[in-house]
Amino acid sequence: MGRPRQHGTETRDQLLDAATRLLATEGFGALSVRRLSGEVGVSSRAVYSVFGGMPGVLGALYRRAADVMNEHHEAVPRQEDPLAEIVELAFAYRAGALAQRDLYGLYLERAVPTFCPSDEDVAYAVRAHLRARQAFERACADQPGVDPARATIQMWALLHGLCSLEIGGMLAGMDGDVEAVWQNAVNSMLRGLFPVAR
Amino acid sequence: MGRPRQHGTETRDQLLDAATRLLATEGFGALSVRRLSGEVGVSSRAVYSVFGGMPGVLGALYRRAADVMNEHHEAVPRQEDPLAEIVELAFAYRAGALAQRDLYGLYLERAVPTFCPSDEDVAYAVRAHLRARQAFERACADQPGVDPARATIQMWALLHGLCSLEIGGMLAGMDGDVEAVWQNAVNSMLRGLFPVAR
DNA sequence: GACGTAACGTAACGACGTTGCATTACTCTG
DNA sequence: CAGAGTAATGCAACGTCGTTACGTTACGTC
């Protein structure tokens, strides 16, 4: 009953694509309801029909960012040695973040003051940690006294800090060899967490 | 020649105080030229006379955040053992960030999309790392093969990641014992960086 | 005392997110 | 098959934002 929805999934996808494109080319400043709708060729009201408002758009972008992070993690092959897998997952984290620098700001930094992800959004987002968590579970199996949950969080903090600093241009002065900083940092943390193993 | 400046240092300080207060109580959403000027009781034009515009206000807040971080670092007494000093500096970093959660977002996360600190701002801000850098220089003195600059950056990334996650509420699930996570993370990184010493 | 100059307050511009409101287009009912 | 009911739409407007053009004011200088 009532008028059927004119703006369905395809309008939704078009809007999100436009948002992602705008974000990548012009940053958050260009992200507005009017700009988005104009880009796709629908009325600004359509954004409210599909997403309920700007927070809805940001929430969808947030989940899209989480999806990309998850895909990068899942692309890492499972390995016998959990520590080797953790290192690869770390670089997958970096690749996922750098592939969507602005969206990463929405994902884990508070890049849009008016947006705060809901509890469901957060729960949806942290599932990307599952691979890392599993690897740490295995690594901690023969290392009594090391809590896998805590170890995962610690590594996450390091990775997030590295991403945040790199995206913010704070690692630019490191002789250009940012990758070496990453390698060294991840190895140091693992050495500190599992001193016996290596 | 010309009309003398009516809005001098005291207006500037009042505006910055109001901005800090607004930020702490209502967040970045409440930070606007009109709101600021209204709080202090001057015309909105005064903000442009004093700061040149909203970016100028944000730049000043950025430097104020850097000052607070610096003060927290300088409050740490110098110690014989550089590693012990580094641990205390780490908790000073945490205290400085948590004391001004919103300003920390402006400081190292890109909490205001339209604001990008100038090179001078960044250079001014990173001077807070001097204490940590000096401690790492001493710690690396008897540890050939460890680059103090790289070690400082690695620890910075970890501390920043921990702060960002804690402020973002991502560490809330850690059985409430966030401090233990910090202690453990910093110790792990130090153990990994200086395996011989400990 | 008149002039030039620079900072001031007022009011406006365009753009923002959001929302009534009249309209439209469809389904269900008689 | 016509009419009623309903929900989504486009349009226009509201209040807000950062910023700025403009007329005014207050001071230093001649």
- Interval A25-78: pLDDT, tens: 999 999 999 999 999 999 999 999 999 999 999 999 999 999 999 999 999 999
**B189:A189 CB<8 A:** yes
Q: How far is the CA of A48 from the C1' of D8 (A)?
A: 11
Q: Do B153 and A181 touch (CB under 8 A)?
A: yes
Q: What percent of chain B is predicted at pLDDT more than 70?
A: 97
Return the pLDDT at A113.
82
Could you tell me the pLDDT band of residue B56, with boundaries at 50, 70 and 90?
very high
Tell whether the model's pLDDT for residue B198 goes beyond 60: no
Q: Do A191 and B187 touch (CB under 8 A)?
A: no
pLDDT tens profile B107-122: 999 888 888 898 888 9
* Spacing of A3 CA from D4 C1' in Å: 14
The pTM for the full model equals 0.93
Residue A198 has pLDDT above 60, yes or no: no
Determine the average pLDDT of the residues in B191-196: 89
Nearest residue, CB atoms, B188 vs list A160, A164, A189: A189
pLDDT of residue B88: 98
- Higher local confidence (pLDDT), A128 or A188: A188
The pLDDT, as a whole number, for residue A120 is 87
Whether A190 contacts A86, CB under 8 Å = yes
Q: How far apart are CA A147 and CA A138, in angstroms?
A: 11
Nearest to A90 by CA among A175, A193, A195, A196: A193
Q: H or E element: which one contains A138?
A: helix A130-141
Average pLDDT of chain A is 92
Which of A43-57, A72-86, B117-131, B150-164 shows the lowest mean pLDDT across its residues? B117-131
To the nearest whole angstrom, how far is the Cα of B149 from the nearest Cα of chain A? 8
Return positions of chain C under 7 A from a protein CB. Answer: 4-11, 15-20, 24-28
- Which residues have a Cβ under 8 Å from the Cβ of A143 and sit 6 or more positions away? A194, A196, A197
| Per-residue confidence band for B134, with pLDDT thresholds at 50, 70 and 90 | very high
Per-residue confidence at B144, pLDDT binned at 50, 70, 90? Answer: confident
Residues in CB range of A65: below 8 A, 6 or more apart: A100, A103, A104, A106, A107, A125
> What are B2-47's pLDDT values in tens digits?
777 787 788 999 999 999 999 999 999 999 999 999 999 999 999 9
pLDDT band at B143 (very low <50, low <70, confident <90, very high): confident
**What is the rounded distance in angstroms from the CA atom of residue B99 to the CA atom of residue B104?**
9
Interface test with A, best of B25, B178, B189 (most A CBs within 10 A): B189
CB A31 within 8 A of CB B114: no
Which has the higher per-residue pLDDT, B121 or A158? Answer: A158
